[in-house]
Amino acid sequence: MGKELCNLYAIAKQVNLYFDENKADFLSEKGNAVFQQYRAFSQHNEEQVMQALRNLKINPGNTVDSIVMEMIENLEDIASGNMYDKDVRSMGYIMSLNRLVSYHAANIQNLEYGTLNL
């Protein structure tokens, strides 16, 4: 369970670092709302997981999630690519963001599943 918590912390930390350094000002109003909601959730999740790690006396070290790295690279490519118009970029970004949100949620569900007494 400690390793899974460290991985969840890495996911939130990587996501938050990316969102702190990048803007998605090309997103539609609805897309920006999704972006902002996920950003707020991820920031809160990072704080929660860090507290759980402290309580368990686990140091996550420099844990990095390679899947999240790939997803963030894809988001960066879409955000920086001016070869498509704003609407196409926005749709591609939201689709990639949805993949990231789903991956983050799946890792949370794994932890919840792991805490069940089966």
For the cut 50, the answer to whether the pLDDT of residue 37 exceeds it is yes
Mean predicted confidence (pLDDT) in 58-84: 90
CA distances to 53, 71, 76, 79 from 22, in Å: 28, 14, 8, 9
Q: How confident is the model at residue 48, as a pLDDT?
A: 94
pTM: 0.88
Mean predicted confidence (pLDDT) in 25-30: 86
- Check residues 90 and 22 and name the one with the higher pLDDT: 90
The rounded distance, in Å, linking the Cα atoms of 57 and 21 is 30
pLDDT band at residue 117 under the 50/70/90 scheme = very low
What does the block give as tokens for 25?
A: 């000002």
Q: How confident is the model at residue 114, as a pLDDT?
A: 63
Q: How confident is the model at residue 95, as a pLDDT?
A: 94
